[in-house]
C-alpha cells in the first residue's frame, strides 16, 4: 500500500495521530490542504484516487487512509486537516500553523450515533477497490459490509486462481466483505450479481476494442438467469439493479425482477453529483432541471415501479474506485436481530427492514405513525411520500426532526419516508423502503409510461444488430400493456 508523498527536502514534518472514542489508534481517511488549495498525501498510506481513473478535481481523490498515525514532509505554513471515519462519526476539521520545527496533531474521532447498538448494520453494494485494501477501507469508513466486485466485462480477477472456499471474509467482528460478485455493465444497463458460486465468463462477452456501452447482445437478462440458476442458501445469488435510469430496467422489472434497486447510487458523490443519465434513458431536463432534478427523476422511476406493485427494496452503492466516493459514502442500513450474519442482513433487506442514505439516518415506524431523522449536519426537511406524492412535510433547521404521521391514506397503496440535508453542489438524502398500506392506487399511467419507454427502445433497436432483442422487449411490453387498462 504505497502512494507518492509530497517529499520536499526543506520541509517540516506534520505528524497526525487519529484515535477513536476509547483513545485507541483508528483507521481514518484524511485530507491535508495547504493554504494554496493543494492537497498532500502521506507516504505509505492508501490513496483514495486510483491510477488510470479521471481526476474530477474532487478533494476525495487526494485524500488517503492510514491506521492511526501518519507523517507528511511539507513546507511550513497553514494546513487544514479533515478527518473522516464514516457516516456515524463527526467530521473533524482542524487548522494547523506548521513551523520549521514540525508539529504533532492529535485527532479524537467521536461518534454522533451508534447504529449497530440499535440493531442496524451498514453495507455498500458497489465496491471497486483492490481486495487487499478493502479491510482497511471498511474500518476507516466504519462500514460493516462491503460487496466487492471481482468480475466484470473486461476482467475476472479469479482467472487462473482457485475460487475462495468461502466468499464471505471476516475482517473484524464488525466488518465483513464478500468477494464473489460480478457486474454486467453494458449498453442496456448495469446488473449486479452478488454471492455467485461460479464466474459467469462476463469478460468474454465484449469483443476487444468495442466499448462496453455499445454491447447489447447477449442481453443482460441472460446472465441474470444464469446467475439465478446457481441458487444456494435461498437468498443467493442476489440481483441488484444498479440504478433505475438504464434503458433495459423496465425489461428486467417485468421479466426478471431484481432483489433490490439502486436508489442511493453512484451518481451521488461526496463533493458533487453526476446530474446526467450517462448512456441511459435521458430525462426531460425542463421537468427535472439541475442536480436536484436528476435526483427527483431517478426517484420518480423507482416510485413508478412501486406504484405498479413491485415493492423492490432500495439499495445503495458508491462505486468507490470508479467514481469519486469513499467506500460506504452511499450506504444502506438493515435491521437484524442478534449477531450479524450475511444471511440475516440480506434477509432484512428483502423484508424491507432497510433504509438507504448518504448523510442522515431515518427511522419510520408505520405501526406507531412516527418518523425521526437525525444527522451530523442540518436537516432541510423530512417528507412522507405515498405513491410518489408528498403527503406530509416536516421542516428542518436542526440536526433532529421528528413527528407523528397520519397513515390513513385511502388513495394510496404504499408509503415511505425520505429526508434531505441542507447542502450545496450535491444531494444528500435518506430514504426508507416502501410499506404497503390498504388504499387503492390507479397505476395505469405508470404502466403507460413504461410502454412508451419500451416503444422507444424498440424503435432504437430496429435495423441494427439489436433487432434480435425485439422479442424480449415485446414480451416486457405485454407485461405493462396488461396493467395499462
Name the DSSP class of 323: B
What pLDDT sits at residue 37?
Answer: 95
Instruction: Give the span between the Cα atoms of 307 and 303, in whole angstroms.
Output: 6
Instruction: Give the span between the Cα atoms of 120 and 332, in whole angstroms.
Output: 9
What pLDDT sits at residue 375?
Answer: 98
What is the phi/psi pair of residue 426, to 5°?
Answer: -155, 175
Question: 435 forms bridges with which residues in the sheet?
Answer: 415
Instruction: Give the span between the Cα atoms of 148 and 131, in whole angstroms.
Output: 7
Is 89 in contact with 142 (CB distance < 8 Å)? yes
Cβ within 8 Å of residue 464, ≥6 positions away:
none
Burial degree of 83 (CB within 10 A; 0-12, 13-18, 19+): buried
Where do the domains of the chain lie? 12-108, 116-354
CB atoms within 10 A of CB 377: 13
Tens digit of pLDDT for each residue in 105-137? 999 999 999 999 999 999 999 999 999 999 999
Q: What is the CATH number of domain 12-108?
A: 2.60.40.1120
Number of Cα atoms under 13 Å in the Cβ half of residue 82: 15
Tens digit of pLDDT for each residue in 160-216? 999 999 999 999 999 999 999 999 999 999 999 999 999 999 999 999 999 999 999
What pLDDT sits at residue 65?
Answer: 98
- State pTM to two decimals: 0.96
Question: 189 forms bridges with which residues in the sheet?
Answer: 186
Instruction: Give the span between the Cα atoms of 152 and 27, in whole angstroms.
Output: 29
Q: Which fold has domain 116-354?
A: TIM Barrel (3.20.20)
Q: pLDDT tens digits, the chain, 485 residues: what are they?
A: 334 344 334 689 999 999 999 999 999 999 999 999 999 999 999 999 988 777 888 999 999 999 999 999 999 999 999 999 999 999 999 999 999 999 999 999 999 999 999 999 999 999 999 999 999 999 999 999 999 999 999 999 999 999 999 999 999 999 999 999 999 999 999 999 999 999 999 999 999 999 999 999 999 999 999 999 999 989 999 999 999 999 999 999 999 999 999 999 999 999 999 999 999 999 999 999 999 999 999 999 999 999 999 999 999 999 999 999 999 999 999 999 999 999 999 999 999 999 999 999 999 999 999 999 999 999 999 999 999 999 999 999 999 999 999 999 999 999 999 999 999 999 999 999 999 999 999 999 999 999 999 999 999 999 888 999 999 999 999 999 999 99
Cβ within 8 Å of residue 188, ≥6 positions away:
216, 219, 220, 246, 247, 248, 251
Any idea what the Cα angle at residue 310 is, between residues 318 and 387, rounded to 5°?
A: 90
What pLDDT sits at residue 104?
Answer: 97
Please give the full DSSP string across 372-391, using - where no structure is assigned.
Answer: EEE-SS-EEEEEEEETTEEE
Q: At what angle do helices 290-307 and 444-461 cross, to 10 degrees?
A: 110
- Which is it for strands 175-186 and 145-151: parallel, antiparallel or unpaired? parallel
Amino acid at each position: 500500500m504505497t502512494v507518492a508523498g509530497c517529499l520536499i527536502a526543506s520541509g517540516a514534518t506534520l505528524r497526525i495521530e487519529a484515535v477513536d472514542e476509547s483513545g485507541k489508534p483508528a483507521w481514518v481517511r484524511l485530507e491535508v490542504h495547504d493554504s494554496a488549495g493543494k492537497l498532500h498525501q502521506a507516504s505509505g498510506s492508501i490513496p483514495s484516487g486510483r491510477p488510470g481513473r479521471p481526476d474530477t478535481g474532487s478533494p476525495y481523490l487526494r485524500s488517503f487512509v492510514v491506521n492511526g498515525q501518519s507523517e507528511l514532509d511539507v513546507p511550513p505554513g497553514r494546513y487544514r486537516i479533515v478527518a473522516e471515519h464514516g457516516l456515524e462519526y463527526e467530521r473533524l476539521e482542524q487548522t494547523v500553523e506548521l513551523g520549521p520545527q514540525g508539529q504533532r496533531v492529535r485527532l479524537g474521532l467521536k461518534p454522533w450515533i451508534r447504529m449497530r447498538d440499535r440493531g442496524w448494520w451498514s453495507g455498500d453494494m458497489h465496491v471497486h477497490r483492490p481486495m487487499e485494501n478493502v479491510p482497511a477501507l471498511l474500518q476507516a469508513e466504519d462500514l460493516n459490509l462491503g460487496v466487492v466486485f471481482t468480475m466484470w466485462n473486461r476482467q475476472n480477477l479469479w482467472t487462473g486462481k482457485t475460487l475462495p472456499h468461502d466468499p464471505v471474509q471476516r475482517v473484524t467482528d464488525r466488518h465483513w466483505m464478500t468477494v464473489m460478485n460480478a457486474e454486467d455493465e453494458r449498453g442496456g444497463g448495469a446488473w449486479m450479481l452478488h454471492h455467485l458460486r461460479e464466474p459467469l465468463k462476463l469478460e468474454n462477452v465484449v469483443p476487444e476494442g468495442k466499448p462496453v456501452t455499445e454491447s447489447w447482445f447477449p442481453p443482460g437478462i441472460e446472465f441474470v438467469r444464469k446467475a439465478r440458476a446457481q441458487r444456494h442458501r435461498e437468498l443467493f445469488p442476489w440481483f441488484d439493479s444498479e440504478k433505475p435510469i438504464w434503458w433495459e430496467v423496465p425489461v428486467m422489472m417485468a421479466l426478471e425482477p431484481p432483489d433490490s434497486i439502486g436508489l442511493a447510487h453512484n451518481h451521488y458523490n461526496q463533493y458533487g453529483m453526476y446530474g446526467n443519465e450517462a448512456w441511459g434513458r435521458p430525462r426531460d431536463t425542463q421537468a427535472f432541471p439541475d442536480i436536484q432534478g436528476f435526483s427527483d427523476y431517478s426517484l420518480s422511476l423507482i416510485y413508478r415501479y412501486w406504484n405498479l406493485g413491485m415493492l423492490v427494496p432500495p439499495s445503495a452503492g458508491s462505486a468507490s474506485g470508479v467514481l469519486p466516493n469513499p467506500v460506504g459514502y452511499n450506504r444502506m442500513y438493515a435491521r437484524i436481530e442478534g449477531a450479524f450474519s450475511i444471511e440475516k442482513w440480506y434477509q432484512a433487506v428483502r423484508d424491507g427492514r432497510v433504509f438507504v442514505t448518504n448523510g442522515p439516518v431515518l427511522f419510520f415506524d408505520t405501526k406507531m405513525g412516527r418518523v425521526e431523522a437525525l444527522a451530523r449536519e442540518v436537516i432541510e426537511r423530512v417528507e412522507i411520500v405515498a405513491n410518489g406524492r408528498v403527503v406530509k412535510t416536516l421542516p428542518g433547521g436542526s440536526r433532529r426532526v421528528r413527528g407523528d404521521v397520519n397513515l390513513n391514506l385511502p388513495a394510496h397503496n404504499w408509503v415511505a419516508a425520505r429526508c434531505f440535508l441542507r447542502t450545496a453542489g450535491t444531494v444528500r438524502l435518506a430514504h426508507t423502503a416502501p410499506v404497503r398500506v390498504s388504499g387503492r392506487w390507479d397505476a395505469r399511467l405508470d404502466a403507460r409510461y413504461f410502454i412508451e419507454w419500451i416503444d422507444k427502445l424498440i424503435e432504437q433497436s430496429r435495423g441494427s444488430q439489436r433487432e434480435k432483442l425485439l422479442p424480449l422487449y415485446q414480451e416486457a411490453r405485454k407485461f405493462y400493456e396488461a396493467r395499462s387498462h
